[in-house]
């Protein structure tokens, strides 16, 4: 007995010693990450001077950080990156940057978290900010810009090259108000197109339906399908704590089609209240479909309780239980595995309502922002402005590149190539409004108000007042 | 002689009541377990209880209505008029069978009789996906498609073991030392310090996160196992100390006095007397602490993050469902795999557990 106890105690001691040793190993890792002191190379441009005024000079005299990196100058350095995508997306991302890592010797350590929004705030406040963070919601990035924590990328990037490689509205969206004037808060990396209506192509053609070009044709098709015996639309807005967001996308898409882009911008900035008739009118347009129990699979009541991802699967039952599903490009990851894009399913453009507003397109995307200014981080940021940084991801499917130098032939399926073209040729390109609004509205009352409206607990006026109240928080 | 049957009867009643309570408690777990063996499409369509034999309407034959039937008017089926809504939810026919749409578009109605069925579509895909990692289709720069295998749970499982075991041993060891000191040693400010420890019990750990993170950043402890051990130890200490104190202070005083007379030092008393005597309560607080650390998400999220070389199980499982939750069906299987270890610990130390539950209650 006595001996056994002794061994037990010894064991505890050994484990303790081992743990301390392990910890020492772990610590070493961390030291490597921060071993490079900030900026040994000259950043040269001060934030106040206009970098774009003398483009030829800045482009030719000093090499950009990216060129230096490709020359192997930052071999062995590490750049930490933190973002919201995990799993399959993470694998695709890592494959896409592998070539760059091999060439430059920079190790980009990506860390994905499902709790990105909450965690990034804790990390930045705790002084443990990643070198680069991937924000799917510019509204969230804006709060960090306001507190002056984000580095202005225009201080070192060749603005003319950026202007050549991005649609102007992308660059405008990256410009945010910091404590000392406007800064370029980050660069746009991957995007998705939202104004898409998915349909089961094969069955759709067999049933003799045609793709609608106008809103009236869309409503006629909806009515036709209802007469034939099916509800046309598959709609679900349940998404855990984020329940309601697909409804906000609908409203935004319809807003772009029923009012001017200027009004849309005002609305997003909080100058046009939700209680205004313009916004109400958009929600009413949406209700023509949503509130008609013959048009929605499972009836209006089931919209709130159906998960946004699973709602689309009924399109592929045999025969389809519903025929149309409006959702961004990522929804294909929820489709049954054995379907072929372009054959079994396809999309058409969510048609315009009022011809005077042209063909607007609603997009979303991730903006990469920089928290630590080191030369190798600059190099990585510059790399992310090239289409090359997304090449294999585009080829594997799932993203649309916002950069102009991403080649159309990289898209392996016609379905995705057409999305890229749609975004490029849009008369108006606008970002998902709820992602731009402050969190209390865009990720708060807007979601909740729409959910309450759809579930029938409040009427339209009540819902709009409820959403508007979020601006005061 | 007379009492005996009575006692047995009351015992049976107690047992039945306990069995019913147990059953109610177990139902969600059983449901989850069954779901973990069902394909995702099936889970969406029907409940897990349909795997048991149950009565359901089974189609016997179909009736085809004329193609031009207007669905918004009453519909005639077999000589009786029904509305569309009735046919959607299933309408009783005069002969007792049920009419329900089979395909509204083709205007076919299925006639159903109630009968016994069970749903036996099972799969081990969920477990395979979780254990061996998922497959991803990646197109390479040259356009060739290759399949990449994701990571399974094994690395995260080992990481969690690495986190949990020291994070259980360290605080409990310290707490036992402290409890002995608080209970049997006389030193200045003993009472005050003990009250402070008790007060720390009510401080929620969330308020300490950002300050601790700031210190960790300065010390370079973020993302290391040592950091998370210390964090868990710190957050677990107040309860462990209080728990051990209430046990150790109950040990008979004479024991230590006689040991002291024989020339034992405090350390000898502690290692030779206290530790062996306190094994039951050490075991039970270990279970608490271990389960808490094993299932923890928040502390790991903040202090070690999601890099694959340090990622713990709870975070790996959360990631597995994909960026937009498209692989939710893997959660069922992953949940059961993550439960294996706590179950093993619980059953291994079970005999201490009940004793441990009473640990704090005998003496306040």
In chain A, where are the structural domains located? 63-193+364-426, 208-363+430-472
Most confident of the following: A378-387, B61-70, B136-145:
A378-387
- The answer on B60 and B29 residing in a single domain is no
- Cross-chain Cβ contact B218/A313 below 8 Å: no
B18 belongs to a structural domain? yes
Between CA B238 and CA B235 the distance in angstroms is 7
| Number of domains composing chain B | 3
- Cross-chain Cβ contact A127/B318 below 8 Å: no
pLDDT 10s digits, A239-266: 888 899 999 999 999 999 999 999 999 9
- The answer on B178 and B100 residing in a single domain is no
A271, B186, B277, B285 from B244: Cα distances, Å:
61, 17, 11, 8
Contacts of A34 in chain B (CB under 8 A): 220
**What is the pLDDT, as a whole number, of residue B105?**
78
- The answer on B76 and B21 residing in a single domain is no
Residue A24 has pLDDT above 60, yes or no: no
Structural domain range at position B191: 154-357
**What is the pLDDT, as a whole number, of residue B6?**
65
pLDDT 10s digits, B271-280: 988 888 888 8
- Cross-chain Cβ contact A114/B319 below 8 Å: yes
B201 belongs to a structural domain? yes
Q: Are B146 and B138 in contact (CB under 8 A)?
A: yes
- A-interface mutation test, from B213, B217, B306, B319, most A Cβ less than 10 A away: B306
- The answer on B179 and B213 residing in a single domain is yes
Q: Are A43 and A73 in contact (CB under 8 A)?
A: no
Closest Cα to residue A279, out of A290, A266, A292? A266
A225 to chain B, closest Cα gap in Å: 9
- B-interface mutation test, from A229, A239, A296, most B Cβ less than 10 A away: A229
- The answer on B243 and B320 residing in a single domain is yes
CATH, range A208-363+430-472: 3.40.190.10
- Cross-chain Cβ contact A19/B140 below 8 Å: no
CA A43 from centre of chain: 30
Of B48 and B68, the structure prediction assigns the larger pLDDT to: B48
Of A282 and B91, the structure prediction assigns the larger pLDDT to: A282
Of A396 and B237, the structure prediction assigns the larger pLDDT to: B237
B46 belongs to a structural domain? no
A2-11 average pLDDT score: 49
**Residue A1: closest C-alpha in chain B:** B276
B311 belongs to a structural domain? yes
Length of chain B equals 364
B130 belongs to a structural domain? no
- The answer on B225 and B87 residing in a single domain is no
Q: Are A81 and A132 in contact (CB under 8 A)?
A: yes
pLDDT 10s digits, A196-237: 999 999 999 999 999 999 999 999 999 999 988 889 999 999
Q: Are B54 and B116 in contact (CB under 8 A)?
A: yes
Residue A53 has pLDDT above 60, yes or no: no
Out of A123, A127, A230, closest to residue B104 by CB: A230
- Cross-chain Cβ contact A126/B307 below 8 Å: no
B94 belongs to a structural domain? yes
| H or E element at residue A360 | strand A360-370
- The answer on B84 and B29 residing in a single domain is no
- The answer on B301 and B234 residing in a single domain is yes
**What is the pLDDT, as a whole number, of residue A332?**
87
Query: Which phi and psi angles does A307 have, rounded to 5°?
Result: -65, 140
Residue B30 has pLDDT above 90, yes or no: yes
Strand B108-117 to B98-103 pairing: antiparallel
Domain boundary among B71, B93, B117: B117
Out of A91, A119, A229, closest to residue B136 by CB: A91
- Cross-chain Cβ contact A229/B71 below 8 Å: yes
Q: Sort A323 into a burial class: Cβ within 10 Å, 0-12 / 13-18 / 19+.
A: buried
Three-class SS of residue A349? Answer: strand
Asked if A63-193+364-426 and A208-363+430-472 have one fold, the answer is: yes
B221 to chain A, closest Cα gap in Å: 7
pLDDT 10s digits, B76-127: 887 788 888 788 788 888 887 888 888 777 788 888 888 888 888 899 989 9
With residues binned 3-state (H G I as helix, E B as strand, rest as coil), the percentages for chain A, rounded to 5, are: 50, 15, 35
**Residue A109: closest C-alpha in chain B:** B307
- B-interface mutation test, from A23, A327, A371, most B Cβ less than 10 A away: A23
A63-193+364-426 carries CATH number 3.40.50.720: no
pLDDT band at B346 (very low <50, low <70, confident <90, very high): confident
A68-92 average pLDDT score: 91
Contacts of B210 in chain A (CB under 8 A): 122, 125-126
- Which residues contact residue A67 at a Cβ distance below 8 angstroms, ignoring those fewer than 6 apart? none
pLDDT band at B151 (very low <50, low <70, confident <90, very high): confident
A43 to chain B, closest Cα gap in Å: 26
- The answer on B169 and B113 residing in a single domain is no
Out of B136, B210, B323, closest to residue A125 by CB: B210
pLDDT 10s digits, A374-430: 999 999 999 999 999 999 899 888 889 999 898 888 988 889 999 999 988 888 889
* Model pTM score: 0.80
- Cross-chain Cβ contact B323/A119 below 8 Å: no
ipTM: 0.78
Contacts of B310 in chain A (CB under 8 A): 26
A123 and B CB contact within 8 Å: yes
Q: What is the mean pLDDT of chain A?
A: 85
- The answer on B237 and B351 residing in a single domain is yes
- The answer on B327 and B238 residing in a single domain is yes
**What is the pLDDT, as a whole number, of residue A62?**
60
- Cross-chain Cβ contact B224/A86 below 8 Å: no
Contacts of A229 in chain B (CB under 8 A): 71, 103-107
**What is the pLDDT, as a whole number, of residue A78?**
94
A77-89 average pLDDT score: 91
A12 to chain B, closest Cα gap in Å: 8
CATH number for the domain spanning B292: value is 1.10.3720.10
A135-158 average pLDDT score: 91
B161-168 average pLDDT score: 95
Residue B56 has pLDDT above 90, yes or no: no
- Cross-chain Cβ contact B162/A310 below 8 Å: no
User: A433: which DSSP letter?
Assistant: H
Residue A8 has pLDDT above 70, yes or no: no
pLDDT band at B3 (very low <50, low <70, confident <90, very high): low
């Amino acid at each position: 007995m006595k001996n056994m106890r002794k061994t037990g105690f010894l064991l505890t001691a050994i484990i303790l010693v081992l743990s301390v040793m392990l910890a020492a190993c772990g610590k070493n890792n961390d030291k490597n990450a921060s071993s490079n002191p900030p900026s040994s190379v000259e950043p040269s441009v001060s934030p106040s001077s206009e970098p774009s005024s003398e483009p030829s000079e800045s482009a030719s005299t000093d090499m950009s950080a990216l060129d230096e990196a490709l020359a192997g100058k930052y071999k062995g350095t590490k750049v930490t990156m933190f973002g919201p995508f995990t799993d399959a997306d993470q694998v695709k991302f890592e494959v896409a940057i592998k070539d760059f890592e091999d060439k430059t010797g920079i190790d980009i350590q990506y860390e994905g978290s499902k709790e990105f929004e909450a965690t990034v705030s804790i990390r930045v406040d705790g002084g443990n900010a990643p070198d680069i963070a991937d924000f799917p919601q510019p509204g969230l990035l804006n709060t960090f810009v306001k507190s002056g924590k984000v580095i202005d990328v225009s201080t070192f990037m060749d603005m003319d090259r950026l202007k050549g490689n991005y649609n102007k509205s992308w660059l405008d969206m990256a410009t945010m108000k910091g404590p000392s004037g406007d800064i370029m808060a980050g660069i746009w990396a991957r995007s998705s197109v939202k104004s898409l209506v998915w349909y089961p192509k094969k069955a759709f053609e067999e049933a003799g339906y045609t793709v609608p070009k106008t809103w009236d044709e869309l409503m006629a098709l909806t009515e036709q399908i209802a007469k034939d015996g099916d509800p046309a639309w598959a709609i679900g807005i349940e998404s855990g704590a984020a329940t309601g967001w697909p409804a906000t996308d609908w409203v935004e898409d319809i807003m772009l089609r029923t009012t001017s882009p200027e009004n849309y911008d005002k609305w997003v900035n909080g100058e046009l209240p939700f209680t205004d008739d313009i916004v109400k009118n958009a929600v009413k347009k949406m209700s023509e479909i949503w509130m008609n129990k013959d048009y929605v699979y499972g009836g209006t009541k089931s919209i709130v309780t159906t998960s946004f991802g699973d709602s689309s699967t009924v399109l592929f039952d045999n025969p389809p239980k519903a025929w149309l599903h409006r959702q961004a490009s990522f929804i294909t990851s929820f489709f049954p595995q054995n379907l072929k894009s372009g054959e079994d399913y396809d999309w058409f453009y969510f048609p315009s309502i009022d011809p005077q507003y042209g063909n607007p397109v609603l997009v979303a995307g991730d903006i990469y922002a920089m928290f630590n200014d080191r030369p190798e981080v600059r190099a990585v940021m510059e790399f992310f402005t090239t289409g090359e940084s997304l090449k294999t991801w585009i080829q594997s499917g799932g993203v649309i590149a916002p950069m102009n130098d991403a080649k159309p032939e990289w898209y392996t399926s016609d379905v995705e190539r057409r999305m890229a073209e749609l975004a490029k040729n849009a008369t108006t390109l606008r970002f998902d409004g709820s992602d731009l609004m402050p969190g209390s509205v865009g990720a708060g009352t807007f979601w909740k108000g729409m959910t309450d409206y759809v579930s029938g607990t409040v009427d339209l006026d009540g819902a709009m007042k409820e959403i508007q109240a979020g601006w005061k928080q | 002689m007379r009492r005996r049957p009575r006692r047995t009867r009351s015992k049976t009643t107690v047992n039945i009541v306990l069995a019913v309570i147990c059953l109610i408690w177990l139902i969600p777990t059983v449901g989850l377990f069954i779901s973990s063996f069902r394909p995702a499409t099936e889970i969406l369509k029907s409940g897990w209880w349909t795997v048991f034999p149950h009565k359901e309407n089974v189609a016997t034959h179909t009736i085809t209505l004329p193609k031009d039937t207007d669905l918004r008017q009453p519909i005639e089926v077999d000589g009786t008029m029904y509305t569309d809504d009735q046919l959607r939810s299933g309408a009783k026919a005069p002969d007792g069978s049920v009419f329900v749409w089979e395909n509204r578009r083709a205007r076919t109605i299925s006639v159903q009789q109630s009968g016994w069925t069970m749903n036996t579509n099972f799969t081990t895909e969920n477990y395979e996906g979780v254990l061996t990692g998922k497959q991803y289709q990646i197109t390479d720069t040259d356009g060739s498609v290759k399949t990449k295998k994701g990571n399974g749970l094994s690395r995260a499982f080992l990481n969690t073991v690495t986190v949990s075991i020291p994070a259980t041993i360290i605080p409990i060891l310290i707490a036992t030392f402290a409890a002995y000191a608080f209970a049997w040693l006389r030193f200045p400010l003993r009472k005050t310090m003990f009250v402070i420890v008790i007060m720390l019990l009510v401080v929620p750990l969330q308020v300490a996160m950002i300050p601790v993170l700031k210190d960790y950043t300065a010390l370079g402890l973020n993302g290391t196992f040592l950091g998370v051990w210390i964090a868990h130890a710190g957050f677990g200490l107040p309860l462990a100390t209080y728990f051990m104190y209430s046990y150790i202070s109950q040990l008979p005083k004479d024991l230590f006095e006689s040991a002291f007379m024989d020339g034992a030092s405090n350390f000898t008393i502690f290692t030779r007397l206290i530790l062996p005597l306190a094994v039951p309560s050490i075991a039970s607080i270990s279970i608490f602490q271990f389960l808490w650390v094993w299932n923890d998400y928040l502390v790991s999220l903040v202090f070690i993050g999601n890099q694959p070389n340090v990622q713990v199980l709870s975070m790996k499982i959360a990631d597995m469902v994909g960026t937009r939750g498209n692989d939710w069906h893997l959660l069922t299987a992953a949940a059961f795999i993550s439960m294996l270890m706590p179950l093993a610990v619980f059953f291994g130390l079970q005999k201490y557990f009940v004793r441990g539950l009473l640990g704090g209650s005998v003496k306040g």
